[in-house]
């Protein structure tokens, strides 16, 4: 078994489109790394470069200690699960799982033993003689997994393997796959656009956008300490509220439109760099979790509250997501990164915020209420670079 190392890897297509730019990533031996990002961000390209299905334009790719840049897929000792599973339609489940072994010229008995073992692990024993067309979506997914595992490869590559399943099955399979990975302990790169998959399954998550790696860390770190506005807004649902705010000259208060909040006294100890933003405009991020209904928090000091009237409410049973407007300038993650000049958004002077309220809350649309802000957990970003201020 082996880790995967990408050093300054880039991929430029013939038409000049740069899909991946100077990617540095180190996937440790046995690690389950999930690469997440919006569609077209370059995550699948990265995976396919590791598989050997795309040529690497620049940089070095190592599996274990071997540089594999120019190696054929078959020589890289990787296994891959495709989004549409790519099962061989004319072969039975058994032959699908045994195909690579047969190509490795393993003995019939050995192949049979291994396939049966894995079929048992994946509860596919009953399906071994069926063809892919006779299987349900979940079973096909399992066969695809089984086919990858059967080879005992150095590396597992999974390309959105759950996106063709229904929600319920997807949640089940999440657990099953991470279980399986732990059991076999093979280094795994898992590509998805679904942050829930990333957060629940990964040892570490790599967020990628427009071909550029944004942040790699364990799931909780990603949520608590996003490195920039993109990661902040991409991870978490509903997404982090991002708006323009003004910090007063002595870092005591922060102004959001016509309202202002007291900042915690130790804010500069926690985020020393914030001092250089005194008296300036920053982008502030507030997670919906950090906006609560004041009536349920009687001890909450008045100076960390904002007043707003409720626009709409999503009642989800376990919680209520409450939406309201503030007269502050909203920030779009793409604008802040300076890549996109979508001026339509930046001129608006009203930001829509989401708060995660308890299910027992009885606010109604149209109510004007006080909302408590957990100022300890505010996120600050440089308005130009979009990087977190810490």
Partner 1 sequence: MDQEARHRATTARRWWVLVFLIPTLLILSSLVLYPALRTITDSFLDRFGDQYIGLENYSALASSPRFHTAVLNSFLWATLFPLTVVTIGLVLAVLIEKVRWETAFKLVLFLPVAVSAMSSGIVWRMMLDDSPERGAFNAVATLSASIVSPAGDLAGARPTTGTITLNPDGSIAFPVEVSSAGAVANLGLIGIAEVDLPGNATTANPATRQPKSITGTIWRDAGSSNGQKGKIDKDEIGLSGILVKLISPSGSTVAQTYSVTGGRYAFEGIAPGKYSVLIPSEVTRTRWTGIEWLSPSLITPAAMLAGLWIWAGFSLVMIRAAMTRLDRDVTDAARIDGASEAQILRRITLPLLAPTLSVIGITLAIYGLKVFDLIIGIAPEPVQDDANVIALEMWRSAFTGLGNRGLGSAAAVIMFVMVVPVVALSLRSFRGSETRT
Partner 2 sequence: MKQDHGVEGTASRRPRRLTEFVLVLIALVWMIPGFGLLITSFRSADEYARSGWWTALYRPGELTISNYVEFLSNGNLLGTLGSTLLIAVPATLIPISLATTAGYALAWIPFKGRKAVYLSIVSLLVVPFQLALLPALELFGTIKLSGLPAIWLFHTAFGLPLGVFLMHNFFAGIPKSIIEAARIDGAGEGSIFANLALPNALPGIASLAIFQFTWTWNDLLVALVFAGNRTPITVAIQQRLNDFSTGIEVIGPGVLLGAVAPLLLFFAFQRHFETAMKTGALH
Partner in contact with 63, chosen from partner 1, partner 2, none, beta carbon below 5 to 8 Å by kind: none
CA distance 312 to 323: 5
Using rule CB under 8 A, residue 87 touches partner 2: yes
Q: Of the candidates 25, 51, 205, 372, which one interacts with partner 2 according to CB under 8 A? A: 51
Using rule CB under 8 A, residue 268 touches partner 1: no
x/- mask, partner 2, residues 334-363, rule CB under 8 A, reads ------------------------------
Q: Least distance in Å: CB of 10 to partner 1?
A: 17
Nearer to partner 1, 8 or 75 (CB): 75
Question: Which of positions 142-161 make contact with partner 2 (CB under 8 A)?
Answer: 147, 151
Q: Least distance in Å: CB of 71 to partner 1?
A: 6
For 47, the token pair is 């995976």
Q: Of the candidates 74, 108, 113, 182, which one interacts with partner 2 according to CB under 8 A? A: 74
Contact segment (CB under 8 A) with partner 2 among 45-53, 133-141, 246-254, 315-323 equals 45-53
Nearer to partner 1, 62 or 112 (CB): 62
Number of Cα atoms under 13 Å in the Cβ half of residue 248? 11
Q: Of the candidates 34, 93, 100, 304, which one interacts with partner 2 according to CB under 8 A? A: 100
DSSP-derived 3-state class of residue 129: coil
Question: Which of positions 31-70 make contact with partner 1 (CB under 8 A)?
Answer: 67, 69-70
Q: Least distance in Å: CB of 279 to partner 2?
A: 56
Using rule CB under 8 A, residue 264 touches partner 2: no
Contact segment (CB under 8 A) with partner 2 among 74-82, 166-174, 349-357, 371-379 equals 74-82
Instruction: Tell me how many residues contact partner 1 (CB under 8 A).
Output: 6
Please name which of 269, 262, 270 lies closest in space to residue 372, comparing C-alpha atoms. 262
Partner in contact with 80, chosen from partner 1, partner 2, none, beta carbon below 5 to 8 Å by kind: partner 2
Contact segment (CB under 8 A) with partner 2 among 36-44, 70-78, 320-328, 333-341 equals 70-78
Cβ-contact 44, 32 below 8 angstroms: no
Q: Least distance in Å: CB of 110 to partner 2?
A: 15
| DSSP notation for 315-373 | E-SSEEEEEEEESS-B--HHHHTTS---HHHHT---EEEEEEEETT----TT-EEEEEE
Dihedral sign, CA of 273, 276, 282, 288?
positive
Using rule CB under 8 A, residue 86 touches partner 2: yes
Partner in contact with 70, chosen from partner 2, partner 1, none, beta carbon below 5 to 8 Å by kind: partner 1
| DSSP notation for 70-128 | T--GGGTTEEEE-TT----TTS-HHHHHHHHHHHTT--HHHHHHHHHHHHHHTT-GGGT
| DSSP notation for 106-118 | --HHHHHHHHHHH
Question: Which of positions 64-103 make contact with partner 1 (CB under 8 A)?
Answer: 67, 69-72, 75
Ranges of beta strands (E only) in 248-317 are: 253-256, 259-262, 281-286, 291-293, 305-315
Dihedral sign, CA of 355, 361, 367, 368?
negative
Using rule CB under 8 A, residue 78 touches partner 2: yes
- Phi and psi angles of residue 22, each rounded to the nearest 5 degrees, phi first: 40, 60
DSSP-derived 3-state class of residue 149: helix
CA distance 39 to 57: 21
Give kind and range of the element (H or E) at residue 207.
Answer: strand 204-209
Q: Of the candidates 8, 40, 70, 103, which one interacts with partner 2 according to CB under 8 A? A: 103
Quickly tell me which residue has 């399943």 as its tokens: 165
Contact segment (CB under 8 A) with partner 2 among 46-54, 134-142, 193-201, 284-292 equals 46-54
Partner in contact with 136, chosen from partner 2, partner 1, none, beta carbon below 5 to 8 Å by kind: none
CA distance 324 to 330: 13
Partner in contact with 113, chosen from partner 1, partner 2, none, beta carbon below 5 to 8 Å by kind: none
Q: Which residues sit at the interface with partner 2, rule CB under 8 A?
A: 51-53, 72-74, 76, 78-80, 82-90, 99-100, 103-104, 147, 151
* Residues that bind partner 1 in the complex, under the rule CB under 8 A: 67, 69-72, 75
């Amino acid at each position: 078994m082996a880790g995967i190392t990408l050093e300054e890897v880039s991929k430029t297509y013939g038409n000049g489109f740069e899909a991946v730019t100077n990617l540095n990533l180190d996937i440790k031996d046995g690690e389950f790394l999930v690469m997440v990002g919006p569609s077209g961000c370059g995550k699948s390209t990265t995976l396919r470069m590791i598989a050997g299905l795309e040529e690497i334009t620049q940089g070095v790719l190592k599996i274990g200690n071997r540089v594999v840049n120019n190696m054929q897929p078959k020589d890289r000792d990787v296994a891959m699960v495709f989004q549409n599973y790519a099962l061989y339609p004319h072969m039975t489940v058994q032959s699908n799982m045994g195909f690579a072994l047969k190509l490795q010229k393993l003995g019939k008995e050995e192949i049979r033993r291994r396939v049966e073992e894995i079929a048992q692990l994946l509860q596919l024993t009953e399906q071994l003689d069926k063809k892919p067309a006779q299987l349900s979506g979940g079973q096909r997914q399992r066969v695809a997994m089984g086919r990858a595992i059967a080879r005992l490869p150095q590396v597992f590559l999974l390309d959105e393997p759950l996106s063709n399943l229904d929600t319920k099955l997807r949640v089940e399979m999440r657990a099953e796959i991470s279980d399986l990975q732990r059991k076999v302990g093979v280094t795994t790169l898992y590509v998805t656009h679904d942050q829930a998959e990333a957060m629940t399954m990964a040892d570490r998550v790599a967020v990628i956008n427009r071909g550029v790696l944004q942040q790699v860390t364990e799931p909780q770190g990603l949520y608590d300490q996003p490195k920039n506005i993109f990661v902040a807004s991409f991870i978490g649902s509903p997404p982090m509220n991002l708006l323009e705010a003004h910090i007063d000259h002595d870092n005591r208060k922060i102004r959001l439109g016509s309202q202002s909040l007291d900042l915690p006294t130790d804010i500069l100890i926690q985020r020393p760099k914030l001092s250089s933003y005194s008296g300036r405009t920053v982008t502030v991020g507030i997670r919906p979790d950090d906006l609560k209904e004041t009536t349920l928090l009687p001890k909450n000091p008045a100076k960390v509250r904002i007043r707003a009237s409720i626009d709409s409410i999503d009642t989800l049973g376990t919680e209520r997501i409450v939406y309201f407007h503030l007269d502050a300038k909203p920030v779009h993650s793409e604008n802040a990164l300076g890549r996109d000049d979508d001026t339509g958004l930046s001129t608006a002077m009203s930001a829509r915020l989401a708060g995660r309220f308890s299910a027992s809350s009885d606010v109604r649309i149209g109510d004007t209420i006080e909302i408590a802000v957990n100022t300890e957990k505010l996120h600050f970003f440089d308005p130009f670079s979009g990087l977190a201020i810490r």
